[in-house]
Amino acid sequence: MFYYISFLRPPPTQAALSGEPIHITPQIANDLRTEYYTDVQDIFYSWALQSPTPSSSVITKPVKLTSWRASTMYKEIPVPPPRNACNGEYWRLILSSGTSRKDQVLSLNDENLGHRPFPVLSDPILFSTRPSKVVKQERIRRSYALTETNKDHPTIFHIIEQTSFDLDKKIWDSGIGLSSWLVQLHFGMVSNTALVSKAKNALFASKCAGTGIVAIVLGILRGLLDSPVSSGKIITTDLPSALPLLQSNINSSRSLYHPGNAPEGAVLDWDEPDISTQVASFVSGIDVIVMADVTYNTASFPALIGTLSWLIRFSMNIAPTKPPLIILGYKERDVAERTLWEMAEKIGIRFEEVAQVPGAEGTPVEVWVGTVSVNTQ
């Protein structure tokens, strides 16, 4: 399990340039916001000037804001504005659990990922001399880092989430855990079994199908290879309601992809009777299917299994002796979710656990690799 710093009460979209503090209510909870951090945790704040060029960015030194306690989780906290803010400037508020710049970024290379709550950035806040109605922000941003061997500076990308209760527009543990494993796989930080090697070859070869942050991480990693992959596609799918946010996150990291490695967003509804119409519009063959946190609703399992079955048949019609590999990032929320493995076996998928990403405490994120029998019909 991971813990996330977020805003129970987010900052406003605009603040007066008068030196008056803005007011927020920070929160530290799990990905679904159903379990709160039980220890005492110092939270530090800093301000980042929104600049058109990274080289001219300004980030103030982190200062202690408060000590989080679950007993005072609803307490409103005043935050001093940036000292040198000018009229018309936009600043992001950063909350973190440490006093360094590294503490403001989530490092996916970290073998101790999740030992402290993850940091958060607000949307830009306009500081202005003009009075305005208080409007609360609806989005946050988290920064992620991939540290390359023998490189002085990490590759940093950003993911936007909604502050609303729409859980499909937030990052979940399995997405982060699986992304961390992919990064460690890429940089040779995991045990290299035959199945892990097969997964690595499939992921960093030609075609992939993924979702959200995982697809973005894959796109970046495939461009960091000694010989960057320039063929094939990474397709990242979701329901229509989530696609605009997904596409925004893809676009925000576009400068980090090698040409040909940018993920492509597409709609895939498991409950849609005619899966073929959806899939045929965005892919012509599949080497690997990557899934993260698809088990939260056991009622959707028949639709999920039906979709996987169709994708396997679709792929094997093109390459009969090369069924797709399936990689699953999973965190148990209910033991009944384990029935998915039995259902998968009935369509020829055999899963094997290859890693666990422990997080802070409680249930780890499990990484499973599934192979498909070539006799699958």
Residue 226: predicted pLDDT: 64
271 pLDDT band, cuts 50/70/90, is confident
| More confidently predicted of 57 and 322 | 322
| pLDDT average, residue stretch 129-142 | 88
Q: Which range has the worst mean pLDDT, 42-46, 160-164, 307-311?
A: 160-164
What's the mean per-residue pLDDT of the chain? 88
Note whether 175 and 296 are within 8 A (CB): no
End-to-end CA distance of the chain: 38
DSSP SS3 for 90: strand
175 pLDDT band, cuts 50/70/90, is very high
Residue 254 gets which letter from DSSP? Answer: G
Note whether 204 and 217 are within 8 A (CB): no
Within 163-199, strands assigned E span none
pTM, whole model, 2 decimals? 0.89
Sort residue 145 into left (φ over 0), alpha (ψ -120 to 50) or beta. Answer: beta
Position 285, amino acid: G
| pLDDT average, residue stretch 180-207 | 86
Above 70 in pLDDT, residue 184? yes
Distance CA 41, CA 117 (A): 9
Position 238, amino acid: D
Render pLDDT for 48-90 as a digit per residue (tens, 0 to 9): 998 766 556 789 999 999 999 999 899 999 999 999 899 999 9
Sort residue 88 into left (φ over 0), alpha (ψ -120 to 50) or beta. Answer: left
From the centroid of its chain, how far is CA 4?
A: 12
Residue carrying structure tokens 């990490």: 154
| More confidently predicted of 148 and 327 | 327
pLDDT above 70: percentage of residues in the chain:
90
Distance CA 94, CA 246 (A): 22
Q: What torsion, rounded to 10 degrees, do the Cα atoms 142, 146, 152, 153 define?
A: -30
93 pLDDT band, cuts 50/70/90, is very high
Render pLDDT for 31-54 as a digit per residue (tens, 0 to 9): 888 899 999 999 999 999 987 665
**Phi, psi dihedrals of residue 217, rounded to the nearest 5°:** -60, -45
Sort residue 33 into left (φ over 0), alpha (ψ -120 to 50) or beta. Answer: left
DSSP SS3 for 301: helix
Within 50-180, strands assigned E span 63-68, 77-79, 89-96, 106-107, 120-122, 125-128, 139-146, 155-162
